Each structure stands twice: as C-alpha cells, then as structure tokens.
C-alpha cells in the first residue's frame, strides 16, 4: 500500500484547501497539527471541566466522508481561535486523533464551557463549508474527466464536431469557457478519423453545458477558499445558496446530456451478445434519468429551508454530484465498449467457433482488419483504460458475469478515491496543456479573425457600401494607418486618451489613426483642396475596453463632402446615404437620432453652463444611451462642478425627442427658450431646411430629433447624427457623423467646411451574422467541381484549365472515392459537377450533374465547356 501523504494544519500563514479536506476525509492523507499552533494553546484550563459527549458537539453528517471533512474544517477553525485562553491543547489533538483513526469513534471528553461553546458555534459552518470543499474538489475533477469522456463518446458515436470550431470574437464578450472546452476537445480528438459524420444534439451542446460547469467550479472555488480560511465566522446562508444552487443546475445539465450519450453508446455496441449483457448491467447499475431529476428537484426544494438545515441542502448537492459521477463513468464504459469491445471479443476465440462446448477449427478467408484511427488524446486515454483492464477479465466480455467484473474495475478506475485516479487525471491535463502553445496562440484583446463564411459576408457588404458611395459621385482615398501624434491630438476631446501611441522609431512621435475623418482633413489641407467628395474604407484603432460590439481594431466606412455647397445640401445627402446603406444591407429596423451642435450649445447656455465647460458636459450627455440620467447627473455635479439646479434644467431639455418636424415646430413656438438664443435660432433654421428635404426624399421616417444626442468629438460644429439598431441584438451605435467646418482649417490657412458620415461596419457584421446571413452566403463563388475518379491529375489539369480559360469559376478534385467528390461539392455548396471516370474516358464523354436538381446528363467531352456556359447563363 502506498504511503499516505501528510497534511499540516494550523501553521502560521498556512491555508486549508479543498483538496486537503477531500484527501483527509477519504483516508488518502494523514493530518497533523503544526507545533506552533499547539504552542499557542494552554495545556490546562482555569475554568471548571464537565464531561461532554463529543458525538453531540462534533458535526455528524449522513456520510462518513462528510463527517470526516467537517471535522477537518472544524479543527482548522478551532486552531484559528487559539488566542482564547480557555481552549486547551487536548481538544484539537483529540480531533486529529479521531481523523487519523480508521473509523470515527466518538468518546467522552472533559471540556470547559468555552470549549463546548466554541464547538457548538462552529458546528454548522464547519459542516456546510466542509461539504462545499468536497464539492469544490469533486466538481473540478469531474470537469476535467467529463471533457475526456465526452471526447471518447464523440468517436464512439462518429459524431459531427463542427460545434467545437468556436472562434473568439475579440470583443471581450466571447463565451470564454465555451471556447476553452471546445479547444480542449479539439486537442483530444486531433487526428481522429471517426468524428465528423453524424449530427447529434448531445454532442453539439457539449461546449455550452461543460462551460457552465467550469464557470460554477470557479464560483464555488472562490467562495469556498475564502470561507475555509475565515476563522470562526458564522455561516452565511446566502454564500452557500449562491454557490451551490447554480452548481447543482450545471450538474443536472451535464448528467442529462452524459446519460443521453451513454444510451446512444449502448445502442452502438457491435456484438449482439455484448450489447445485451451491457444493457442488463446498464439498466441495473447506471442511475436513471428519473433519479437524476429527483436529485435536482430535492436540491431545489431544500434551498428554501431554514438556515440551520442548510447542511441537508449541501448534502443533497453532494448526493447529486455522486449521481452525475456515476453517469459520466457509465458514459465512459459504454463509449469504450463501442470502440474496443469488438477487439476484446475477437481475442477470445480467434480462428475458432464454440460448438456444443468444443472448439471447432473454422477455415476463414484472410480478412484485412480495418484500422481505427483515434484522436491523439483519446487514444492515450483508451490505452490507459486497457492497461487497467489487462488481466482482469477484459478478454471475454460476452459473459454477463465477466463483463460485470470488467465494469466494476472501470467504475473503480474512475473513482477519485482510487489510487490510480490521480495519474489518469494528471495524464488528461497533460494531454491538453502540452498542446497549449501549439493550439492556442491567442489573439490580442479587441481583435478578431474572420473565417471564410464571415469573409464572404464582409465582401458582400463592402461591395454594397462601395456601390452606394459611388452612386453619389464619390471617389476613393487611402491614407497611412499611422499619423504624426500632433495631427491627432486635441481633436477628440476626452476620447483622446484612447489613441494608440507608437514607440519612438527615430525622432517622430507617431500614433495609430483613431478615425478616418482627421486624416481626411489633414489630406485636404495639405493639398490645398477646396472641394472634394470622397469615401474610404479602412481600419482604425482605439485603446478601448473591449465589450459587446466594441473592438480595438475595426473597419470604418466613411463618406465626406468638403467644400462650399447650397445650404444644408451636403448634410441632407450624407444622411440620405446612411439610410440607403442600412436599407440595402438589410439589417432590419434602425433609427437615426439627429441633433445640432449649435442647438446643444444654446441649450447649455440657457441652462447656465459656462462656455468653457460646453465640451466636457457634451461628453457627459453623450453617455445617456449607456447610463441613466441620475448617473450622468452625479458625474456633472461631483466631477465637473455644475450646480444641481443647472443639471436639472439640462434634464428637462435632453428628454425631448420625437418626429423631426413635429418637435421642430414645438421648439420654434412663441415663448420657447431657444428663440432667445442666436445660435439656437440658426440651428433651428438649418434643421427646418434639412427636415423638409428628408421628408421629400421619403427617408424622414427613420429619423428622430433627439436633444440628448451630443456626439462627444470636439470637432463637430453643426448637424450631428447617430444610427442605432432597433432589433434584438444589443450592439450600440452602428453609424454616425456630423458637420465639422473648422477641422480642415486647423491644418492649414484656409477653412474648408465639411460634413461626413461613418458606418460602424463591425457592428453591422455582428447583426448580419446573428440574422444568419452567414448560413445563406457561400464562402466561394465556385460554379463547378471537376471530379476525376482515379489518380490521373493530367485529366483534371486539362479540363479545369479549359474552364478557367473560359472564365468559369472551377475547382478540381482527384480521388478514387466517389463520396469524397460529393462531400466536397456539398460542403462548398458548388452547384455543378463534371464527373470523369474510366468509363467516361473510354467513351469520350463526361457526366454533368446539377447538384440541387439531382439531375445528370451525358455530354461529349469536346462540348462540355460550351454546354456548361449555356446552363450557367440560363
């Protein structure tokens, strides 16, 4: 028997871990008290002693494991009270002796009143947090083991594992644990030739279900770590409830899906005798779905119990944990049986049959056994199981008795208390972690990779955007991705802190561009241009905190008009362009909020805001789409020095929003405060011209006049606007812009008025993806697949080259297996196939197949290009 490890408690600066509690509770480790802790305790008591029955004072729980765990926690907490002069050395020593004995024999002990009171006080909290510690340790190991078992089931069921191809969205809002689970499973299944064939819901849900358990494991661990080492604190029911109830829900989900896969595995066992034997054992020993539901239902009911009964609640969560462990173990058994059962049976009587109790030699033709290629990780796990079963009845699994022995051995192997379990657990961890550098080179936060389907959507969207821009007479422009720092600074108000500065590379201080507008203004000023209608589609960079729909690197699609034009003409056109873009991109309902910077300044002046604070208060108002007015009010009063009266006045104005012409009419009525302010009068006159033009263009229905819109950038001088998606996806602003008459003059001697709009294309892509457009958009434009059945590359080269020369979009595949060709066409959604086999070559023809219509024609080889072009154009 292996020598037991020793766990020390009570040392200075030491802490108690869940793994230590589990080890001592299950007799896997001995416990000792640090001598320094004992030295802090008195050996005798000044108080009178009374004989107490330790059975009534120490925690007593439904299982030996839980009772022993609660004693470990109680001992640790008791030692933390060592400053008390009346808790003697004998009490913790006696508890340690009990824990190190084979069974818990409670004896009578003479205690003083303070010792008895301390035990009574710590009883409930020790019991609760002990069970939390057990659940912490078990759930962490279950999370690792269930991933490995699920990977084996993927191969046993020949399942499609496309759901594991998760990509980090880069916006800081990705389902991190889901991606982690999917990545771990991909590592274990790397190289497997069994997966990828059958779509199974219980497989595709693995990342989400297992990620939920991982999240709850972290939650339980963080709370348990604190409570185990919190001294003599009383139990907090809220901590236990918020930690264990979500864990129970995650366990229920995991057990439900694992049981579903186990049942499918049983059905997949090849040998009828093995299957019937396995079914008998499975039905007898594997927990049923009813027992799983009953366990979770009981936990759900007990959560409403009184605080003093919370040990029952925690115990039932531990019972539920045991049920799920058994189910996952049976999933492993059934998956292993599918993958290796035939091989084990084959060893029993290779080359012979049993007939009436005698072995009869059977003449068999030589059969070439098909090699099963498992994943690099799963093959190691399978071999570990086979090694464990070697010599334990693993070579004759048709017999119910022998199969039962084999099953019991596997159940023991997957029991965390088994001496070999830790080696299995560590091997699984090594398999995953050894691939860390190869499989997970991480993306910087706030950035994204785009798969082929996503790129197809992006190309389609960019094509629509360019067509709209060019329809309005714009020409394209490109500018450097970085600018002189002095060019960018002072243009973005409080957002200037988000500019990415580059390291000094030789005398120039440079920064990555924050937007496309300032570089455009710099270009116009540098080149002395007085009239320019341009568009630019390019990446910009912001040192922002990534969140849903917010990135650090993203595309902007800008359209700007610079120069002297009819009053409000350019403003009308850029807003019209914004509506055309959003309509033609087909994202769904949207709203364009619109305001005027001069009207906003007039409002602030009317409210009594000092002119020097206009810009900083605008930055605060600009946050109203993300925060409540009360939050903004606190910022404006406490941080920016406005009076409560002034802020309340602002509050009455920023609540005004509505149909453009109706709200404009209201603001221009006699007695309106705005009519007493010259800047506001100019703004209202501008907006009247704009709104009437938008009405005539039949796009005013998507526009809302909103006095809370501020747009925080410093360079705006006139109309400002922002587009917001009104569908289910919460993505924030999807576009915006405004008039900036003074920006170009900041770079030169001549003022050139300008107005522009910028489309937040990344957020638009998010909406398009959520609407499922990636499911209807092909990643390639391939029109035909040239399928050569055989290994003659020259045939494919000749025919494909003729198609390319005729400007037909074609791919080719050379393979002997017909299924490979059809799989390729189906996966890439290629509409046509030209099939060339030996028969077609001999007859001088090809087969032209219409995939969607499932129709096939025989075409002379010399006419195939002409015939295909005719069908593509029809």
Residue 558's domain comprises: 450-588+752-777
Contact criterion met (CB below 8 Å) for 445 and 172 = yes
CA atoms of 77 and 234, how far apart (whole Å)? 11
Residues 105 and 242 in one domain: yes
Tens digits of residue pLDDT in 113-159: 787 888 878 888 888 889 999 999 999 999 999 999 999 999 999 99
pLDDT greater than 50 at residue 823: yes
Task: Evaluate whether residue 564 is within a structural domain.
Answer: yes
Mean model confidence pLDDT for the chain: 84
Statement to judge: residues 574 and 695 lie in one domain: no
Last residue of one domain, picked from the residues 726, 760, 795:
726
Calpha distance 621→650 (Å, rounded)? 9
Q: Of 196-210, 220-234, 526-540, which range is least confident?
A: 220-234
CATH number of the domain within which 208 lies: 1.20.200
* 4 vs 185, higher pLDDT: 185
Q: Is the pLDDT of residue 368 over 50?
A: no
Q: How many CA atoms lie within 13 A of 660 on its CB side?
A: 26
Predicted confidence at residue 371, as pLDDT, reads 64
Amino acid 808: pLDDT:
94
Q: What is the mean pLDDT of the segment spanning 757-782?
A: 76
- Residue 360's pLDDT is what? 37
For residues 552-573, average pLDDT: 93
- Low-confidence winner among 233-237, 393-397, 429-433, 788-792 (lowest mean pLDDT): 393-397
pLDDT at position 218, please?
92
Q: What pLDDT shows up at residue 723?
A: 92
Read off the pLDDT of residues 612-640 as tens digits, 9 standing for 90 and up. Answer: 888 788 878 877 777 888 888 888 888 88
Residue 374 in any domain: the answer is no
φ, ψ of residue 789 in degrees (nearest 5): -85, 100
Q: Which of 411, 410, 432 is nearest to 144 (CA)?
A: 432
- At 525, which CATH number? 3.30.930.10
Whats the size of the chain, residue-wise?
A: 874
- The DSSP secondary-structure symbol of 702 reads G
pLDDT band per the 50, 70, 90 thresholds, residue 794? very high
Tokens coding 591: 């709203």
User: Residue 88 gets which letter from DSSP?
Assistant: -
* Whether residue 275 sits in one domain with residue 181: yes
Are 524 and 642 in the same domain?
no
Do 170 and 302 lie in one domain? The reply is yes
236 and 326 assigned to the same domain:
yes
Q: Are residues 66 and 111 in the same domain?
A: yes
Category of 527 on φ-ψ map: left (φ > 0), alpha (ψ -120 to 50) or beta: alpha
pLDDT of residue 618: 81
Q: Looking at the structure, do residues 291 and 236 belong to the same domain, yes or no?
A: yes
In a domain, 556, yes or no: yes
Q: Is residue 351 domain-resident? A: no
Residue 732 is assigned to a structural domain of this protein: no
| One domain, residues 79 and 215 | yes
Q: Are residues 167 and 242 in the same domain?
A: yes
Look at the chain and report how many structural domains it folds into: 4
**In 229-309, alpha helices (H):** 237-267, 272-285, 289-302
What confidence tens digit (pLDDT) does each residue in 663-707 have? 999 998 887 888 888 889 999 999 999 999 999 999 999 999 998
CATH number of the domain within which 792 lies: 3.40.50.800
Identify the weakest region by mean pLDDT among 214-218, 273-277, 321-325, 730-734: 730-734
pLDDT of residue 867: 93
746 within domain boundaries: no
359 C-beta neighbours (distance < 10 Å), count: 11
Is the residue at 404 inside a domain?
no
Same domain, 612 and 474: no
User: Among positive and negative, which fits the CA dihedral 628, 632, 634, 637?
Assistant: negative
pLDDT-derived band at 197 (thresholds 50, 70, 90) equals confident
410-450 pLDDT, tens digit each? 888 899 988 889 889 999 988 888 765 455 567 788 888 88
In this structure, is residue 620 part of a structural domain? yes
Residues 548 and 657 occupy one common structural domain: no
pLDDT of residue 353: 39
The β-bridge partners of 110 are 51
- Among the residue ranges 335-344, 563-572, 783-792, the one predicted with the least confidence is 335-344
How far is the CA of 471 from the CAs of 579, 584, 756, in angstroms? 14, 13, 16
């Amino acid at each position: 028997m292996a020598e037991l490890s020793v766990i020390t408690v009570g040392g200075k600066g030491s802490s108690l871990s869940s793994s230590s509690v589990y080890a001592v509770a299950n007799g896997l480790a001995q416990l000792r008290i640090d001598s320094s802790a004992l030295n802090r305790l008195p050996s005798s008591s000044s108080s009178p002693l009374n004989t107490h029955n330790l059975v009534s004072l120490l925690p007593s729980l439904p299982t030996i494991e839980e009772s022993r765990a609660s004693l470990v926690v109680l001992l640790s907490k008791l030692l933390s009270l060592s400053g008390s002069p009346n808790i003697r050395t004998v009490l913790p020593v006696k508890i340690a002796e009990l824990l190190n004995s084979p069974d818990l024999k409670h004896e009578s002990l003479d205690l003083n009143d303070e010792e008895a009171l301390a035990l009574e006080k710590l009883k409930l909290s020790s019991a609760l947090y002990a069970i939390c510690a057990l659940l912490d340790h078990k759930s962490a190991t279950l999370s690792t083991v269930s991933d490995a078992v699920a990977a084996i089931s993927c191969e046993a069921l020949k399942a499609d594992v496309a759901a594991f191809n998760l990509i980090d969205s880069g916006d800081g809002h990705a389902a991190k644990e889901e991606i982690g689970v999917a990545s771990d499973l991909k590592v274990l299944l790397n190289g497997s030739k069994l997966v990828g064939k059958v779509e199974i819901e219980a497989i595709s849900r693995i990342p989400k279900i297992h990620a939920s358990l991982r999240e709850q494991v972290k939650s339980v661990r963080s709370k348990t770590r604190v409570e185990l080492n919190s001294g003599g604190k009383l139990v907090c029911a809220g901590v236990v409830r918020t930690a264990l109830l979500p864990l129970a829900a995650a366990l229920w989900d995991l057990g439900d899906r694992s049981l579903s896969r186990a049942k499918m595995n049983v059905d997949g066992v090849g040998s009828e005798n093995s299957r019937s034997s396995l079914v008998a054992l499975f039905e007898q020993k594997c927990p049923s779905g009813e027992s799983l539901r009953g366990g979770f239902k009981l936990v759900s009911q007990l959560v409403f119990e009184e605080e003093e009964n919370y040990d029952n609640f925690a115990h039932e969560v531990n019972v539920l944990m045991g049920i799920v462990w058994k189910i996952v173990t049976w999933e492993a058994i059934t998956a292993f049986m599918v993958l290796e059962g035939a091989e084990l049976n084959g060893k029993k009587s290779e080359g012979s049959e049993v007939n009436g109790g005698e072995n009869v030699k059977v003449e068999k033709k030589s059969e070439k056994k098909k090699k099963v290629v498992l994943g690099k990780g799963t093959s190691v796990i399978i071999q570990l199981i086979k090694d464990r079963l070697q010599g334990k009845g693993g070579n004759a699994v048709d017999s119910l008795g022998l199969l039962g022995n084999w099953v019991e051995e596997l159940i023991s192997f997957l029991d965390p208390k088994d001496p070999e379990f830790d080696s299995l657990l560590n091997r699984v961890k090594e398999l995953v972690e050894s691939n860390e550098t190869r499989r997970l080179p991480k993306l910087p936060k706030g950035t994204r990779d785009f798969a082929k389907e996503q790129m197809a959507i992006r190309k389609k969207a960019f094509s629509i955007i360019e067509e709209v821009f060019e329809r309005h007479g714009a020409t394209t422009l490109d500018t450097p991705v970085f600018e002189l720092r002095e060019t960018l600074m002072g243009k973005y108000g409080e957002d200037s802190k988000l500019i990415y500065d580059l390291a000094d590379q030789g005398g120039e201080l440079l920064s990555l561009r924050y937007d496309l507008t300032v570089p455009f203004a710099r270009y116009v000023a540098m080149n002395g241009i007085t009239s320019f209608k341009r568009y630019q589609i390019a990446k910009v960079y912001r040192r922002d905190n990534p969140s849903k729909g917010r990135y650090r690197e993203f595309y902007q699609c800008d359209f700007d008009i610079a120069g002297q034009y009819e009053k409000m003409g350019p403003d009308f056109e850029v807003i019209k362009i914004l509506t055309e873009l959003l309509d033609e991109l087909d994202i769904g309902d949207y709203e364009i909020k619109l305001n005027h910077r001069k009207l906003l300044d007039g409002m602030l002046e009317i409210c009594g805001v000092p002119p020097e604070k206009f810009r900083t208060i605008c930055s605060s108002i600009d946050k109203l789409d993300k925060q409540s007015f009360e939050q903004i009010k606190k910022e404006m009063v406490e941080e920016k020095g406005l009076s409560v009266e002034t802020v309340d006045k602002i509050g009455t104005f920023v609540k005004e929003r509505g149909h453009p012409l109706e709200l404009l009419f209201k603001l221009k009525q006699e007695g309106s405060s705005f009519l007493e302010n010259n800047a506001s009068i100019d703004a209202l006159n501008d907006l009247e011209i704009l709104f009437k033009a938008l009405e005539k263009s039949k796009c005013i229905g998507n526009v809302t006049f909103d006095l809370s819109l501020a747009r925080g950038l410093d360079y705006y001088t006139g109309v400002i606007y922002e587009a917001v998606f009104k569908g289910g996806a919460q993505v924030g602003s999807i576009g915006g812009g405004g008039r900036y008459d003074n920006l170009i003059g900041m770079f030169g001697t001549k003022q050139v008025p300008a107005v522009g709009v910028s489309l937040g294309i990344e957020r638009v892509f998010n909406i398009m993806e959520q609407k499922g457009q990636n499911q209807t958009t092909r990643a390639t434009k391939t029109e035909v697949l040239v399928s050569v059945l055989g290994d003659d590359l020259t045939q494919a080269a000749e025919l494909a080259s003729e198609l390319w020369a005729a400007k037909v979009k074609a791919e080719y595949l050379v393979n002997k297996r017909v299924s490979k060709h059809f799989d390729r066409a189906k996966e890439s959604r290629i509409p046509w196939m030209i099939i060339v086999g030996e028969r077609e070559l001999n007859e001088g023809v090809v087969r032209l197949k219409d995939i969607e219509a499932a129709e096939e024609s025989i075409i002379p080889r010399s006419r195939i290009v002409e015939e295909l072009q005719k069908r593509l154009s029809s």
